[in-house]
């Protein structure tokens, strides 16, 4: 797959990821599709974790990942930027939303999502609709689904 541009402003942000294999798969997805990755620490694993390294392979370039020491640092940096929260608690489908090339799409922790305060801070909250009242998809699958829609909408794929 080729892109019209390799310098996207589109960002995927992960809040305190706790499963190394998922984060590694998301790094690969972002690297292959050209999105920037942002990680709000602390992570529930070390970057040296062998499970992480096995999945990330040679796709990780730390200079392409922005780390925030806390959610306060993240929100301070994003003060005048649009953040979209992906959550199972939303009522609007990601497919009915108009994404912008400079959006930051935030995904919660695999084990606990994001704090309730994030839901109050972030105006745009979206979900991936699921059949038969299933609870949720794997986060790396969710990132791939939403990122693909974003890239399609902003004509980068």
At 135, the pLDDT band (50, 70, 90 cuts) reads: confident
Options 3.40.1280.10, 1.10.3720.10, 3.90.45.10, 3.40.50.720; CATH of 11-153: 3.40.1280.10
pLDDT at 5: 37
Q: Which of 12-26, 51-65, 114-128, 141-155 has the lowest mean pLDDT?
A: 51-65
Report DSSP state, residue 127: E
> Distance (Å, rounded) from C-alpha 79 to C-alpha 24?
28
pLDDT at 98: 97
The reply to whether the predicted model has a pTM over 0.85 is yes
- Predicted confidence (pLDDT) at residue 3 exceeds the cutoff of 60: no
**Sequence-separated (6 or more) residues with CB below 8 Å from residue 33:** 1, 3, 147, 148, 151, 157
Average pLDDT, integer, range 27-42: 92
Residue 32 to residues 116, 117, 126: CA-CA distances in angstroms? 32, 32, 24
Q: Which two tokens stand for residue 124?
A: 């745009």
Q: What percent of the chain has pLDDT over 90?
A: 66
- Predicted confidence (pLDDT) at residue 69 exceeds the cutoff of 60: yes
pLDDT at 8: 47
**Sequence-separated (6 or more) residues with CB below 8 Å from residue 84:** 97, 99, 103, 104, 105, 106, 122, 124, 125, 126
């Amino acid at each position: 797959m080729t892109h019209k541009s390799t310098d996207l402003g589109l960002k995927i942000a992960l809040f305190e990821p706790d499963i190394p294999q998922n984060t590694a798969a998301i790094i690969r997805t972002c690297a292959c599709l050209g999105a920037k990755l942002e990680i709000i620490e602390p992570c529930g694993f070390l970057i040296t974790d062998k499970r992480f390294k096995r999945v990330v392979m040679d796709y990780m370039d730390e200079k392409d990942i922005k780390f925030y020491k806390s959610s306060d640092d993240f929100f301070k940096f994003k003060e005048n930027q649009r953040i979209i929260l992906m959550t199972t608690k939303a009522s609007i489908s990601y497919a009915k939303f108009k994404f912008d090339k400079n959006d930051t799409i935030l995904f919660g922790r695999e084990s606990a999502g994001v704090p309730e305060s994030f839901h109050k801070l972030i105006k745009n909250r979206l979900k991936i609709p699921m059949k038969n009242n299933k609870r949720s998809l794997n986060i790396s699958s969710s990132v791939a689904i939403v990122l693909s829609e974003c890239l399609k909408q902003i004509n980068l794929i």
